[in-house]
Structure 1
Amino acid sequence: MRVIGGIWRWRHNPLRRTTDLVEAWVALCALLLILLAAPVVGSLTAAVAQDALQRSVLAQHAARHQVTATVVRKVDGPLLEADPEIASGRDLRSRVIADWTAPDGTARHGAVLAGLESPHRGDHFAIWTDTHGRLVARPLDSVTATTHAVLAGFGAALLSAGVVEAGRRLIMWRMVRRRYARWDQAWDRAGPDWGRTGTGS
Protein backbone atom coordinates (compact mmCIF):
# COMPACT_ATOMS: atom_id res chain seq x y z
CA MET A 1 0.00 0.00 0.00
CA ARG A 2 2.93 2.36 0.61
CA VAL A 3 3.91 1.90 -3.03
CA ILE A 4 0.44 2.87 -4.24
CA GLY A 5 0.42 5.80 -1.85
CA GLY A 6 3.82 6.85 -3.17
CA ILE A 7 2.57 6.85 -6.76
CA TRP A 8 -0.53 8.84 -5.79
CA ARG A 9 1.57 11.36 -3.82
CA TRP A 10 3.88 11.98 -6.77
CA ARG A 11 1.10 12.41 -9.35
CA HIS A 12 0.56 16.17 -8.95
CA ASN A 13 3.47 17.15 -6.74
CA PRO A 14 5.36 20.13 -8.27
CA LEU A 15 8.64 18.77 -6.84
CA ARG A 16 8.16 15.44 -8.56
CA ARG A 17 10.93 14.31 -10.84
CA THR A 18 10.38 11.80 -13.61
CA THR A 19 12.67 9.38 -11.81
CA ASP A 20 10.52 9.58 -8.68
CA LEU A 21 7.49 8.40 -10.60
CA VAL A 22 9.51 5.69 -12.38
CA GLU A 23 10.83 4.44 -9.01
CA ALA A 24 7.30 4.20 -7.63
CA TRP A 25 6.05 2.32 -10.71
CA VAL A 26 9.01 -0.07 -10.61
CA ALA A 27 8.25 -0.79 -6.95
CA LEU A 28 4.56 -1.39 -7.74
CA CYS A 29 5.38 -3.73 -10.63
CA ALA A 30 7.82 -5.66 -8.45
CA LEU A 31 5.20 -5.97 -5.71
CA LEU A 32 2.58 -7.25 -8.16
CA LEU A 33 5.04 -9.76 -9.63
CA ILE A 34 5.93 -11.04 -6.15
CA LEU A 35 2.28 -11.32 -5.12
CA LEU A 36 0.93 -12.76 -8.38
CA ALA A 37 3.69 -14.29 -10.52
CA ALA A 38 5.75 -15.96 -7.76
CA PRO A 39 2.81 -18.08 -6.51
CA VAL A 40 1.99 -19.09 -10.09
CA VAL A 41 5.60 -20.14 -10.70
CA GLY A 42 5.56 -22.06 -7.41
CA SER A 43 2.30 -23.81 -8.28
CA LEU A 44 3.50 -24.79 -11.75
CA THR A 45 6.80 -26.07 -10.38
CA ALA A 46 5.01 -28.08 -7.70
CA ALA A 47 2.64 -29.57 -10.29
CA VAL A 48 5.49 -30.58 -12.61
CA ALA A 49 7.51 -32.00 -9.70
CA GLN A 50 4.47 -33.88 -8.39
CA ASP A 51 3.84 -35.45 -11.79
CA ALA A 52 7.47 -36.51 -12.20
CA LEU A 53 7.79 -37.82 -8.65
CA GLN A 54 4.53 -39.78 -8.76
CA ARG A 55 5.66 -41.40 -12.01
CA SER A 56 8.91 -42.27 -10.23
CA VAL A 57 6.89 -43.75 -7.34
CA LEU A 58 4.96 -45.98 -9.76
CA ALA A 59 8.14 -47.04 -11.57
CA GLN A 60 9.95 -47.86 -8.33
CA HIS A 61 7.03 -49.85 -6.94
CA ALA A 62 6.84 -51.79 -10.20
CA ALA A 63 10.58 -52.55 -10.21
CA ARG A 64 11.18 -53.18 -6.49
CA HIS A 65 9.69 -55.98 -4.46
CA GLN A 66 9.42 -56.59 -0.75
CA VAL A 67 10.49 -60.12 0.17
CA THR A 68 11.00 -61.94 3.45
CA ALA A 69 14.55 -62.78 4.46
CA THR A 70 15.61 -65.29 7.11
CA VAL A 71 18.51 -64.66 9.47
CA VAL A 72 21.32 -67.23 9.13
CA ARG A 73 23.66 -65.58 11.60
CA LYS A 74 24.47 -62.18 13.01
CA VAL A 75 27.57 -60.32 11.85
CA ASP A 76 29.57 -59.13 14.86
CA GLY A 77 29.67 -55.39 15.32
CA PRO A 78 27.72 -52.54 16.87
CA LEU A 79 24.14 -51.70 15.93
CA LEU A 80 23.97 -49.37 12.97
CA GLU A 81 22.11 -46.09 12.67
CA ALA A 82 18.37 -45.90 12.19
CA ASP A 83 16.93 -46.15 8.72
CA PRO A 84 16.38 -42.51 7.60
CA GLU A 85 13.26 -43.52 5.66
CA ILE A 86 11.51 -44.99 8.71
CA ALA A 87 9.10 -42.46 10.16
CA SER A 88 9.92 -43.16 13.80
CA GLY A 89 13.67 -42.89 13.27
CA ARG A 90 14.20 -45.04 16.40
CA ASP A 91 14.64 -48.47 14.79
CA LEU A 92 18.24 -49.64 14.98
CA ARG A 93 19.48 -51.99 12.32
CA SER A 94 21.81 -54.97 12.63
CA ARG A 95 24.04 -56.47 9.97
CA VAL A 96 23.22 -60.13 9.42
CA ILE A 97 23.83 -62.92 6.95
CA ALA A 98 20.45 -63.92 5.53
CA ASP A 99 18.77 -66.06 2.91
CA TRP A 100 15.90 -64.90 0.72
CA THR A 101 14.14 -65.89 -2.44
CA ALA A 102 14.12 -63.40 -5.31
CA PRO A 103 10.84 -62.57 -7.08
CA ASP A 104 12.10 -64.56 -10.08
CA GLY A 105 12.45 -67.65 -7.85
CA THR A 106 16.23 -67.76 -7.42
CA ALA A 107 17.70 -68.30 -3.95
CA ARG A 108 19.92 -65.52 -2.66
CA HIS A 109 22.33 -65.33 0.25
CA GLY A 110 24.31 -62.40 1.61
CA ALA A 111 24.90 -59.70 4.19
CA VAL A 112 21.99 -57.33 4.72
CA LEU A 113 20.77 -54.81 7.26
CA ALA A 114 17.89 -56.14 9.36
CA GLY A 115 15.51 -54.04 11.36
CA LEU A 116 16.04 -56.32 14.34
CA GLU A 117 17.66 -55.18 17.56
CA SER A 118 18.66 -58.68 18.64
CA PRO A 119 18.55 -60.97 15.59
CA HIS A 120 18.66 -64.74 16.07
CA ARG A 121 18.95 -67.57 13.58
CA GLY A 122 15.58 -68.17 11.94
CA ASP A 123 14.18 -64.66 12.53
CA HIS A 124 12.30 -63.21 9.58
CA PHE A 125 12.39 -59.60 8.35
CA ALA A 126 11.43 -57.70 5.22
CA ILE A 127 13.89 -56.42 2.62
CA TRP A 128 13.50 -54.76 -0.77
CA THR A 129 15.00 -56.31 -3.90
CA ASP A 130 14.81 -55.93 -7.64
CA THR A 131 13.36 -58.67 -9.83
CA HIS A 132 16.60 -60.67 -9.68
CA GLY A 133 16.89 -60.47 -5.89
CA ARG A 134 19.57 -57.80 -5.67
CA LEU A 135 19.15 -55.50 -2.67
CA VAL A 136 17.73 -52.07 -3.43
CA ALA A 137 16.58 -49.10 -1.39
CA ARG A 138 13.00 -48.81 -0.21
CA PRO A 139 10.85 -47.32 -3.00
CA LEU A 140 9.70 -43.75 -2.67
CA ASP A 141 6.20 -43.51 -1.24
CA SER A 142 3.46 -41.21 -2.50
CA VAL A 143 3.31 -39.02 0.62
CA THR A 144 7.05 -38.35 0.57
CA ALA A 145 6.88 -37.56 -3.14
CA THR A 146 4.09 -35.04 -2.51
CA THR A 147 6.10 -33.46 0.30
CA HIS A 148 9.10 -33.06 -2.01
CA ALA A 149 6.87 -31.53 -4.70
CA VAL A 150 5.39 -29.00 -2.25
CA LEU A 151 8.87 -28.04 -1.04
CA ALA A 152 10.00 -27.62 -4.64
CA GLY A 153 7.02 -25.31 -5.27
CA PHE A 154 7.80 -23.20 -2.20
CA GLY A 155 11.43 -23.00 -3.24
CA ALA A 156 10.54 -21.92 -6.76
CA ALA A 157 8.15 -19.24 -5.45
CA LEU A 158 10.79 -17.88 -3.07
CA LEU A 159 13.42 -17.93 -5.80
CA SER A 160 11.09 -16.07 -8.17
CA ALA A 161 10.37 -13.44 -5.53
CA GLY A 162 14.10 -13.09 -4.88
CA VAL A 163 14.83 -12.63 -8.59
CA VAL A 164 12.13 -9.94 -8.87
CA GLU A 165 13.47 -8.12 -5.81
CA ALA A 166 17.04 -8.37 -7.12
CA GLY A 167 15.86 -6.92 -10.44
CA ARG A 168 14.10 -4.06 -8.66
CA ARG A 169 17.21 -3.28 -6.62
CA LEU A 170 19.39 -3.36 -9.74
CA ILE A 171 17.06 -0.94 -11.56
CA MET A 172 17.00 1.38 -8.53
CA TRP A 173 20.79 1.25 -8.20
CA ARG A 174 21.24 2.21 -11.85
CA MET A 175 18.71 5.03 -11.54
CA VAL A 176 20.44 6.43 -8.44
CA ARG A 177 23.82 6.29 -10.17
CA ARG A 178 22.38 8.10 -13.18
CA ARG A 179 20.82 10.71 -10.89
CA TYR A 180 24.14 11.31 -9.14
CA ALA A 181 25.89 11.62 -12.50
CA ARG A 182 23.36 14.27 -13.56
CA TRP A 183 23.89 16.15 -10.31
CA ASP A 184 27.64 16.12 -10.90
CA GLN A 185 27.09 17.49 -14.40
CA ALA A 186 24.80 20.22 -13.05
CA TRP A 187 27.40 21.19 -10.43
CA ASP A 188 30.09 21.31 -13.10
CA ARG A 189 27.92 23.61 -15.26
CA ALA A 190 27.21 25.90 -12.29
CA GLY A 191 30.93 26.46 -11.77
CA PRO A 192 32.89 27.23 -8.61
CA ASP A 193 31.28 30.63 -7.88
CA TRP A 194 27.58 29.76 -8.25
CA GLY A 195 26.66 31.40 -4.92
CA ARG A 196 28.49 34.71 -5.35
CA THR A 197 26.59 37.95 -5.78
CA GLY A 198 26.49 39.08 -9.35
CA THR A 199 27.42 35.72 -10.80
CA GLY A 200 26.51 35.58 -14.45
CA SER A 201 26.17 39.37 -14.84
Structure 2
Amino acid sequence: MSGEIPPAQPPPDPPHHELVHPLSLWRQRHNPLYRCTDRLQTRIALALLLLVPVLGLAATLAVGDAAHRHYRAAAEHQRQSLRLTTAVLTHDAPDHPEPGSAEARENRYPATVRFTDPSGRTRTAETGVLPGLKAGSSVHVWVDADGAIAEPPMTAAQIRSRTMGWGLVAFLTVLLAGAAAYRCATVVLRRRNLAEWDTEWAETAPRWTTSP
Protein backbone atom coordinates (compact mmCIF):
# COMPACT_ATOMS: atom_id res chain seq x y z
CA MET A 1 0.00 0.00 0.00
CA SER A 2 1.49 3.28 -1.10
CA GLY A 3 1.95 6.08 1.33
CA GLU A 4 0.15 9.36 1.07
CA ILE A 5 1.52 11.91 -1.35
CA PRO A 6 3.20 14.63 0.69
CA PRO A 7 2.03 18.16 0.03
CA ALA A 8 3.91 20.08 -2.60
CA GLN A 9 6.50 22.53 -1.37
CA PRO A 10 7.01 25.23 -4.01
CA PRO A 11 10.50 26.63 -4.41
CA PRO A 12 11.26 30.00 -2.84
CA ASP A 13 9.94 32.89 -4.85
CA PRO A 14 12.24 35.46 -6.43
CA PRO A 15 11.48 39.03 -5.28
CA HIS A 16 8.36 40.18 -7.12
CA HIS A 17 7.65 43.41 -5.32
CA GLU A 18 10.17 45.61 -7.03
CA LEU A 19 11.91 45.88 -10.39
CA VAL A 20 15.40 44.40 -10.29
CA HIS A 21 18.43 45.59 -12.17
CA PRO A 22 18.39 44.75 -15.92
CA LEU A 23 21.86 43.13 -15.76
CA SER A 24 20.75 40.67 -13.10
CA LEU A 25 17.69 39.84 -15.19
CA TRP A 26 19.95 39.15 -18.18
CA ARG A 27 22.22 36.84 -16.12
CA GLN A 28 19.22 34.81 -14.97
CA ARG A 29 18.47 33.82 -18.56
CA HIS A 30 21.43 31.40 -18.47
CA ASN A 31 20.20 29.67 -15.30
CA PRO A 32 19.07 26.07 -16.07
CA LEU A 33 16.25 26.45 -13.54
CA TYR A 34 14.95 29.52 -15.31
CA ARG A 35 11.27 28.94 -16.16
CA CYS A 36 9.21 30.29 -19.07
CA THR A 37 7.24 32.40 -16.63
CA ASP A 38 10.51 33.79 -15.25
CA ARG A 39 11.54 34.72 -18.78
CA LEU A 40 8.18 36.41 -19.35
CA GLN A 41 8.50 38.31 -16.08
CA THR A 42 11.96 39.47 -17.12
CA ARG A 43 10.66 40.76 -20.43
CA ILE A 44 7.80 42.57 -18.69
CA ALA A 45 10.24 44.19 -16.25
CA LEU A 46 12.60 45.29 -19.01
CA ALA A 47 9.72 46.63 -21.10
CA LEU A 48 8.42 48.65 -18.17
CA LEU A 49 11.90 49.95 -17.32
CA LEU A 50 12.17 51.26 -20.87
CA LEU A 51 8.60 52.43 -21.39
CA VAL A 52 7.74 54.07 -18.07
CA PRO A 53 10.35 56.88 -18.27
CA VAL A 54 9.46 57.59 -21.91
CA LEU A 55 5.72 57.55 -21.30
CA GLY A 56 6.18 59.54 -18.10
CA LEU A 57 8.11 62.25 -19.92
CA ALA A 58 5.55 62.34 -22.73
CA ALA A 59 2.69 62.62 -20.23
CA THR A 60 4.52 65.35 -18.32
CA LEU A 61 5.04 67.42 -21.46
CA ALA A 62 1.48 66.90 -22.72
CA VAL A 63 -0.24 67.61 -19.42
CA GLY A 64 2.12 70.47 -18.63
CA ASP A 65 1.45 72.11 -21.99
CA ALA A 66 -2.32 71.75 -21.56
CA ALA A 67 -2.16 73.11 -18.01
CA HIS A 68 0.01 76.06 -19.07
CA ARG A 69 -2.38 77.02 -21.87
CA HIS A 70 -5.36 76.68 -19.52
CA TYR A 71 -3.90 78.83 -16.76
CA ARG A 72 -2.55 81.41 -19.19
CA ALA A 73 -6.01 81.75 -20.75
CA ALA A 74 -7.58 81.97 -17.28
CA ALA A 75 -5.14 84.71 -16.26
CA GLU A 76 -5.88 86.66 -19.45
CA HIS A 77 -9.62 86.36 -18.77
CA GLN A 78 -9.06 87.62 -15.23
CA ARG A 79 -7.13 90.63 -16.46
CA GLN A 80 -9.91 91.49 -18.88
CA SER A 81 -12.82 90.95 -16.50
CA LEU A 82 -11.35 92.42 -13.32
CA ARG A 83 -10.65 96.05 -12.54
CA LEU A 84 -8.03 97.44 -10.19
CA THR A 85 -9.44 100.14 -7.95
CA THR A 86 -8.48 102.04 -4.78
CA ALA A 87 -10.15 101.24 -1.47
CA VAL A 88 -9.91 102.93 1.93
CA LEU A 89 -9.65 101.15 5.27
CA THR A 90 -12.59 101.86 7.57
CA HIS A 91 -10.64 100.83 10.71
CA ASP A 92 -7.09 100.04 11.77
CA ALA A 93 -5.60 96.72 10.68
CA PRO A 94 -4.14 94.49 13.44
CA ASP A 95 -0.46 94.92 14.22
CA HIS A 96 2.00 92.12 13.55
CA PRO A 97 3.89 90.75 16.58
CA GLU A 98 7.20 91.50 14.80
CA PRO A 99 6.79 94.80 12.91
CA GLY A 100 9.26 95.28 10.08
CA SER A 101 10.14 91.59 9.80
CA ALA A 102 10.03 89.63 6.56
CA GLU A 103 7.02 87.74 7.87
CA ALA A 104 5.17 90.98 8.57
CA ARG A 105 5.76 92.12 4.99
CA GLU A 106 4.30 88.87 3.65
CA ASN A 107 1.31 88.49 5.98
CA ARG A 108 -2.13 89.88 5.23
CA TYR A 109 -4.82 90.53 7.82
CA PRO A 110 -8.55 90.77 7.06
CA ALA A 111 -9.88 94.34 7.21
CA THR A 112 -12.99 96.16 6.06
CA VAL A 113 -12.48 98.62 3.21
CA ARG A 114 -14.70 101.06 1.35
CA PHE A 115 -14.53 101.44 -2.44
CA THR A 116 -16.53 102.43 -5.50
CA ASP A 117 -17.71 99.58 -7.74
CA PRO A 118 -17.86 99.75 -11.58
CA SER A 119 -21.45 101.03 -11.45
CA GLY A 120 -20.44 103.97 -9.27
CA ARG A 121 -21.92 102.72 -6.00
CA THR A 122 -19.98 102.98 -2.75
CA ARG A 123 -19.54 99.57 -1.15
CA THR A 124 -17.77 98.00 1.78
CA ALA A 125 -16.15 94.56 1.86
CA GLU A 126 -13.42 92.62 3.62
CA THR A 127 -10.01 92.03 2.07
CA GLY A 128 -6.49 91.15 3.17
CA VAL A 129 -4.18 94.09 3.95
CA LEU A 130 -0.72 94.55 5.40
CA PRO A 131 -0.61 94.58 9.21
CA GLY A 132 -0.48 97.91 11.02
CA LEU A 133 -2.30 100.04 8.40
CA LYS A 134 -4.40 102.80 9.93
CA ALA A 135 -7.99 103.74 9.16
CA GLY A 136 -8.13 105.93 6.05
CA SER A 137 -5.11 104.24 4.43
CA SER A 138 -5.49 103.45 0.74
CA VAL A 139 -5.05 99.97 -0.70
CA HIS A 140 -5.51 98.55 -4.19
CA VAL A 141 -8.13 95.84 -4.70
CA TRP A 142 -9.36 93.88 -7.71
CA VAL A 143 -13.11 94.11 -8.35
CA ASP A 144 -15.21 91.97 -10.71
CA ALA A 145 -18.08 93.12 -12.93
CA ASP A 146 -20.58 92.65 -10.07
CA GLY A 147 -18.57 94.92 -7.79
CA ALA A 148 -17.27 92.16 -5.51
CA ILE A 149 -13.64 92.01 -4.42
CA ALA A 150 -11.82 89.19 -6.22
CA GLU A 151 -8.42 87.53 -6.18
CA PRO A 152 -5.85 89.27 -8.42
CA PRO A 153 -5.03 87.72 -11.81
CA MET A 154 -2.52 84.89 -11.68
CA THR A 155 1.08 85.94 -12.07
CA ALA A 156 3.61 84.26 -14.37
CA ALA A 157 5.19 82.59 -11.33
CA GLN A 158 1.82 81.17 -10.22
CA ILE A 159 1.12 79.86 -13.73
CA ARG A 160 4.55 78.24 -13.88
CA SER A 161 4.16 76.68 -10.41
CA ARG A 162 0.73 75.18 -11.20
CA THR A 163 1.95 73.92 -14.56
CA MET A 164 4.90 72.16 -12.93
CA GLY A 165 2.56 70.67 -10.34
CA TRP A 166 0.32 69.11 -12.97
CA GLY A 167 3.35 67.84 -14.90
CA LEU A 168 4.65 66.15 -11.75
CA VAL A 169 1.23 64.58 -11.10
CA ALA A 170 1.20 63.21 -14.66
CA PHE A 171 4.67 61.66 -14.29
CA LEU A 172 3.85 60.07 -10.93
CA THR A 173 0.61 58.69 -12.35
CA VAL A 174 2.49 56.92 -15.15
CA LEU A 175 5.08 55.66 -12.64
CA LEU A 176 2.41 54.23 -10.34
CA ALA A 177 0.56 52.71 -13.29
CA GLY A 178 3.78 50.96 -14.38
CA ALA A 179 4.38 49.65 -10.86
CA ALA A 180 0.78 48.42 -10.64
CA ALA A 181 1.07 46.68 -14.02
CA TYR A 182 4.25 44.91 -12.93
CA ARG A 183 2.66 43.88 -9.64
CA CYS A 184 -0.40 42.44 -11.38
CA ALA A 185 1.80 40.53 -13.82
CA THR A 186 3.85 38.98 -11.02
CA VAL A 187 0.71 37.92 -9.16
CA VAL A 188 -0.70 36.22 -12.27
CA LEU A 189 2.62 34.51 -13.06
CA ARG A 190 3.03 33.33 -9.48
CA ARG A 191 -0.41 31.72 -9.53
CA ARG A 192 0.49 30.01 -12.79
CA ASN A 193 3.77 28.77 -11.30
CA LEU A 194 1.99 27.32 -8.27
CA ALA A 195 -0.59 25.58 -10.44
CA GLU A 196 2.13 24.03 -12.61
CA TRP A 197 4.11 23.05 -9.52
CA ASP A 198 1.10 21.24 -8.03
CA THR A 199 0.52 19.37 -11.30
CA GLU A 200 4.15 18.29 -11.63
CA TRP A 201 4.37 17.33 -7.96
CA ALA A 202 1.28 15.15 -8.24
CA GLU A 203 3.03 13.24 -11.06
CA THR A 204 6.42 13.02 -9.36
CA ALA A 205 5.57 12.38 -5.70
CA PRO A 206 4.25 8.79 -6.15
CA ARG A 207 7.70 7.71 -7.40
CA TRP A 208 9.23 8.91 -4.12
CA THR A 209 6.85 6.99 -1.88
CA THR A 210 7.57 3.43 -0.75
CA SER A 211 5.28 0.48 -0.12
CA PRO A 212 5.41 -1.19 3.32
Out of 83, 88, 107, which is 1:91 matched to? Answer: 107
Deviation at 1:74, TM superposition (A): 1.4
Q: Which amino acid aligns with 2:141?
A: I
Q: Give the structure 2 partner of residue 65 of structure 1.
A: 83
Check whether the contact 1:97–1:112 (CA below 8 A) recurs between aligned residues: yes
Gaps of 5+ in 2: 1-19, 97-102
**Distance change in 2, residues 1:5/1:152 (3 Å):** same
Q: Give the structure 1 partner of residue 198 of structure 2.
A: 184
Q: Give the structure 2 partner of residue 28 of structure 1.
A: 46
Check whether the contact 2:111–2:128 (CA below 8 A) recurs between aligned residues: yes
Q: Which amino acid aligns with 1:195?
A: W
Q: Which amino acid aligns with 1:96?
A: T
Q: How does 1:13-162 map to 2 (within 5 A)?
A: 13-71=31-89, 73-74=90-91, 90-98=106-114, 100-102=115-117, 104=118, 106-162=120-176
Q: Which amino acid aligns with 2:142?
A: W
Deviation at 1:108, TM superposition (A): 2.1
Distance 1:151 1:51 in 2: 14
Identity %: 20
Distance 1:47 1:20 in 2: 40
**Distance change in 2, residues 1:9/1:184 (3 Å):** closer
> Is 1:3 paired with 2:22?
yes
TM-align CA RMSD: 2.7
Check whether the contact 2:85–2:140 (CA below 8 A) recurs between aligned residues: yes
Check whether the contact 1:4–1:28 (CA below 8 A) recurs between aligned residues: no
**Distance change in 2, residues 1:50/1:189 (3 Å):** same
TM-score, normalising length: structure 1: 0.80
* DSSP-derived class of the 1:118 partner: coil
Distance 1:79 1:113 in 2: 16
Task: Count residues in correspondence.
Answer: 186
Out of 189, 194, 197, which is 2:207 matched to? Answer: 194
TM-score, normalising length: structure 2: 0.76
Q: Which amino acid aligns with 2:80?
A: A
> What whole-Å deviation, never above 9, does each CA across 1:73-105 have from its counterpart, x for those lacking one?
317x9679xxxxxx987323242242x223x35
Distance 1:7 1:116 in 2: 64
Q: Give the structure 1 partner of residue 11 of structure 2.
A: none
Gaps of 5+ in 1: 81-86
Q: Give the structure 1 partner of residue 10 of structure 2.
A: none
> Is 1:169 paired with 2:183?
yes
Distance 2:104 2:158 in 1: 14
Deviation at 1:162, TM superposition (A): 0.8
Distance 1:138 1:30 in 2: 44
